[in-house]
Amino acid sequence: MFGVLSESFKSAINKLRVADDEKSLKKALDTLKKSLLKADVHHKVTKDLLRNVELDTKKAGIGQGPFLNAIKNQLTQTLTAPGKQGFVFASKPPTVVLMAGLQGSGKTTTTIKLATYLKLRKKRVLVGACDLQRLAAIEQLKQLSEQNEIDLYYEEDSKDPKKIAKNALKKAKDGLYDVLIIDTAGRLAIDEELMEEIKDMHKALDPDEVFYVADALSGQDAVRTASSFHEALNITGVILSKYDGDTKGGVALGIASLVGVPLRFIGVGEKAADIEPFLPDRIVSRIMGEGDLATLAEKTSAVLDEKQARKLTSKIKKGEFNFNDFLEQMESMKKLGSIKSVIGMIPGLSSMANQLKDIDLENSVELKRIKAMINSMTKKERETPSLLNNSRKRRIASGAGLSQMEVNKFLKQFQNAAKMAKRFSGKKGMQDFQALLSQQNRGFPR
């Protein structure tokens, strides 16, 4: 995501090589205009953005630095719509969230992603299955809820979505849930029946939040449909789904600027953990190739227990990192979601993220083999990797259905990773890590 926008800004900035040169500024702005339109940014948004960037740059003095700062400031302003950011809880639980959107926008999957996001933050979440139009919707919710250990309320034979929603709300109150998320019906296009149904549900629930799920790949259509839903329901926020597949990124600018509703979350991958709050200044930082360590830190802290992390760091420093620790970290990494999106948050590595093929920790053949190897070890072998001699390796290979060569290869990788982790665990290690990042940094000029 943001690939086209990021490259656009680099091209425009490179045109402005001569300070205090209005001709160079005009060339840079022309390049920026073409690039923004190519990135599917609405023509009105493009026009306003360019005018303000030009004014800000001239005011500060024409040059790459002022031009870059003007782009960052104007992008942040364009992406900042009035309203709430992230997830805001009601003063009295449960916080009721109504999910709206067209069929195929990823609404049901996004519902589970949002529930997972809240669950990781120690909230009790109930999902209400009120999409009775799409035959597979309830079955899909059942499967996703089971896979991610999310509580689901559904009624097999009911034909009244409003009644189901009311009963779900009663269960949420009686069960002392923090949040109730209602998945509603979508259509292939906006129609009167869809709007009347969701208006009825809105009236029955009086929700604290109405989230419209927009498919980022639908381009300017997402802006138009978001506007229609906003007129009917007064939506409180937009969640952009499939944003990992949208290298253009222009739809985000259009929704925030033209619909006037804040973007609250973005879907950044296929897994349940692949959802992030949309915070304009952080998103701009990523677009400009500067990473987003604040979001990465928040995401990691939601998944990794602080006490456990300190214990692990201590073990790494002492050279006591073992196979049990390795398995534990693998399970934690799954909860972080897309590895590609995580890499995109690291300064200096964000430009590499678009070139990487994402790693599926859930279904990776190599990681399944590693788990099989570790599961073939005795308790003592897992705790003390140095015990593994040739006869033990042969037994492990046989138990995992692998060759001894594959076992040896994994053990060598494990030893190298443990050494690297030890190297980066102290103060000097952090300096080395920062030096490594600066070497790989191919971002914008500072």
User: Could you report the per-residue pLDDT of 326-346, keeping only the tens digit for each?
Assistant: 777 776 666 665 555 665 555
Confirm whether 446 is domain-assigned: no
Same domain as 409, residue 284:
no
Low-confidence ranges of the chain (pLDDT < 70): 1-5, 17-20, 244-249, 289-309, 312-313, 331-364, 420-446
Same domain as 137, residue 49:
no
Same domain as 264, residue 314:
no
Confirm whether 190 is domain-assigned: yes
- Chosen domain end from 45, 79, 113: 79
Confirm whether 312 is domain-assigned: yes
Confirm whether 366 is domain-assigned: yes
Confirm whether 89 is domain-assigned: no
CATH of the domain at 416: 1.10.260.30
Number of domains in the chain: 3
Same domain as 116, residue 70:
no
Same domain as 360, residue 326:
yes
Same domain as 122, residue 178:
yes
CATH of the domain at 242: 3.40.50.300
CATH of the domain at 32: 1.20.120.140
| pTM of the complete model | 0.67
- Chosen domain end from 244, 268, 288: 288
Same domain as 139, residue 15:
no
Residue 295: what pLDDT? 57
Give how far the C-alpha of residue 228 lies from the chain's centroid of Cα atoms, to the nearest Å: 26
Same domain as 179, residue 326:
no
Instruction: Report the C-alpha gap between 212 and 235 in whole angstroms.
Output: 7
**Domain of 230?**
95-288
Same domain as 280, residue 307:
no
Confirm whether 15 is domain-assigned: yes
Confirm whether 445 is domain-assigned: no
- Chosen domain end from 288, 323, 342: 288
Residue 296: what pLDDT? 59
Same domain as 304, residue 284:
no
Same domain as 414, residue 359:
yes
Confirm whether 84 is domain-assigned: no
Same domain as 124, residue 191:
yes
Residue 255: what pLDDT? 82
